[in-house]
Amino acid sequence: MITIINYGSGNLKSICNGFLKIGIPAEVTNDPAVIEDADALVLPGVGAFGSAMNHLEKYRTSISKFLQQEKPFLGVCLGLQLLLSKSEESPGVNGLDIIQGNIIRLPPGLKIPHMGWNKLELKNECPILDGVDQEYMYFVHSYYARPDDEDVVAATTQYGMDVPAVLWKDNIFATQFHPEKSGEVGLKILKNFVKLLD
């Protein structure tokens, strides 16, 4: 069973529909005990870093306990950014700090938010990108991840610079784009995530 964290800042219907399209029912919960015991966990997100972390703070321990079990975890869009240490969007607010690094505002001169279809550039082999090549994914964001360890960047996209598009560390996967809104290739990424349960 795929479990999606309902912490008040996620586009829950969209990500649930993505899993339903591939024939996988997803459970939506705000129960810390259910989060801790999930088979696979998804952290969606829209909106501002600080507000999201305020809502997510009470689940920090449950998420940590889940991750210690080395089961699959997927962060999507803001859900990726919350995994890092801090964000320029919300000074003084600590992220989950699961992947060390910062969230940085996209450079001046670019249209912000970055909204639309951009091509992936694969950097490392990554289980959720199995069978995915230089495909176009759907992005909506104004900030990007700058992890301390560049080796966790599995794919980037070009938007005035190399923007990390997929992060991967151990059992933790995260996409800056929305796989559930990225057509058949995006659904393939969700299928690859589900395969990690086998």
Q: In this predicted model, what pLDDT tens digit does every residue of 148-157 receive, in sequence order?
A: 999 999 999 9
CATH of the domain spanning 2-195: 3.40.50.880
The H or E element that residue 154 is part of is strand 153-158
178 classed as catalytic: yes
DSSP SS3 for 48? coil
Q: What is the pLDDT of residues 30-88, one digit of tens each?
A: 999 999 999 999 999 888 999 999 999 999 999 999 999 999 999 999 999 999 999 99
Asked if residues 6 and 43 have their Cβ atoms less than 8 Å apart, the reply is: no
Q: Which amino acid is at 64?
A: S
pTM here is 0.96
Report how far residue 19's alpha carbon sits from residue 76's, in angstroms, rounded to the nearest whole number.
Answer: 13
Domain extents for the chain? 2-195
77 is catalytic: yes
Query: Of the residues 36, 89, 135, 180, which is catalytic?
Result: 180
Q: What is the DSSP letter of 186?
A: H
**Is-catalytic flag, 126?**
no
Rounded distance, CA 63 to CA 169, Å? Answer: 15
Which member of 77, 89, 114, 135 is catalytic? 77
DSSP state of 7: S
